[in-house]
Amino acid sequence: MPLLKASTSRLDGEPESAWTDYGPDVRCGSDSVAAAESSEWNRKAAAFVSYGSAIGVRSVQQLRQTMTELQVATIRSSVHVPVATLWAHYRGGDVDAGLAELGKPAEAMIDELLWSTAALKTARASPS
């Protein structure tokens, strides 16, 4: 099972993490890591980028459910890298056309992620 925990940008000045796991469901390892790291994720925003065919999209759907249980606010926008673009990359071909199509969805996702991150940071700072 390819599981990766990596540091991502610090949108709100706090460490954030990301997992990649290819498959239509959440693997045991992903779920265990998520549970162990849950306090780090509470009341923060998350966006998803998937690759491949429908399996990548289904993985994002499943991961959204898991993140909701961890009190993570998942945003609606996401980016799905098509299989043709991946094959072009692996074969050393031209991926510019495939990536160009992802510009608008990526921009929408990042805009929504930044807005949600700022709103949640303000909410976390206010007394409950």
Q: Find all residues with CB under 8 Å of 120, minimum gap 6, and list them.
A: 12, 43, 44, 45, 73
Going by the DSSP 8-state scheme, the letter that residue 20 receives in this structure is E
Amino acid occupying residue 51: Y
Tens digits of residue pLDDT in 4-54: 334 344 445 444 444 444 555 555 555 555 566 667 778 899 999 998 878
pLDDT level of residue 95 (50, 70, 90 thresholds): confident
| Alpha-carbon gap, residue 5 to 99, rounded angstroms | 24
Q: Which residue has the tokens 């954030």?
A: 16
Residue 21 has a pLDDT of: 47
Tens digits of residue pLDDT in 109-119: 999 999 999 99
The 3-state DSSP class for residue 94 equals coil
Here the tokens at position 110 are 């990042």
